[in-house]
Amino acid sequence: TRSTRPQRLLTHVKQRARRGDAQSVITTIDDYCRAREWAMNVGDEKGSILDQVVCEVSPDVALELGTYCGYSSVRIARLLPPGARLLTVEFNHDYATIAREVIDWAGLQDRVQLLEGASGDLIPQLRQKHGIETLDFIFLDHWKDRYLPDTRLLEDCSLLRRGTVLLADNVICPGTPDYLEYVRSSPRYQSQYFSSHLEYTRAEDGLEKSVFLG
Ligand SMILES: O=C(NCCCCc1cc2cnccc2s1)c1cc(-c2ccc(F)cc2)cc(O)c1O
Ligand SMILES: [Mg+2]
């Protein structure tokens, strides 16, 4: 049967990117998705904003919802301080399999733990099963209609602390209107919009950074 888009992307990474060189993995994926096949990675333009926020926060414990092929896992993990870790959650087994290989190729497997399953099931397990006290940084990039319920779940599971930063992809395209309304109107968050474009296109999109105020 025909290979899948993520499989073709992984093949390209293994042929073109230098093993252990995270930046070459990032550049190779961006070049491929711009020139050959679009894919729903956060991309280079929004990725630079992601980098800037990760460097600012310098999280010890980061959570990513929506791994896909591991592109943003590599972007985040390459910037983490030694001893820090990224937990990334993926629902689709085939995507998760590809993502593990991409993260390994980038040499970042020791900083990234990939969990397979639905965010709604895994978030309540983070404390007992994964030893998480509170989260320093969360990147939301999964089902757009899960951003709000999962943010409420993170609150209810006491996984947020004063200063925890949430960064949400695709708040314009495909759009997360209920989430935006919530974080922009709630007194418990200080939100800021970073205007950008949908990965590899000229369509408008952006990231919303929201700081939990406790
Ligand atoms: O759907 C998107 N991302 C989510 C897919 C992952 C589903 C998961 C659910 C789930 C549940 N629990 C745990 C883990 C997970 S992962 C997405 C889509 C576009 C897009 C697509 C077409 C288009 F024309 C314009 C934009 C752009 C993007 O940047 C995206 O991120
Ligand atoms: Mg996205």
Compute, in angstroms, the gap from residue 2 CA to the centroid of ligand 1.
Answer: 22
Q: Give the pLDDT score at 174.
A: 98
Pocket residue to mutate for ligand 1, from 116, 139, 170, most atoms within 8 A of Cβ: 170
Q: Give the pLDDT score at 197.
A: 98
Q: Give the pLDDT band (50/70/90) at residue 1.
A: confident
Compute, in angstroms, the gap from residue 143 CA to the centroid of ligand 1.
Answer: 5
Ligand 2 (ion): which residues have CB within 5 A?
141, 169-170
Reply yes or no on whether the pLDDT at 5 is more than 90.
Answer: yes
The tens digit of pLDDT for each residue in 116-133 reads: 999 999 999 999 999 999
Whole-model pTM: value is 0.98
177's tokens: 């209107």
- Report the DSSP beta bridge partners of residue 85: 61
Active site residue 199: yes
With a Cβ cut-off of 6 Å, ligand 1 is lined by 40, 65-66, 89-91, 118-119, 141-143, 146, 169-170, 173-174, 198-199
- Sheet with 135-140, strands from edge to edge, namely 112-116, 85-90, 61-65, 135-140, 160-168, 204-212, 189-197
Helix (H, G, I), strand (E, B) or coil at 213: coil
Reply yes or no on whether the pLDDT at 59 is more than 90.
Answer: yes
What are the CB-based long-range contacts (under 8 Å, 24+) for 48-56?
49/194, 49/196, 49/207, 50/75, 50/76, 50/139, 50/167, 50/207, 51/75, 51/79, 53/137, 53/165, 53/167, 53/207, 53/209, 54/79, 54/80, 54/137, 55/79, 56/165
Reply yes or no on whether the pLDDT at 82 is more than 90.
Answer: no
Q: Give the pLDDT score at 76.
A: 99
Reply yes or no on whether the pLDDT at 201 is more than 90.
Answer: yes
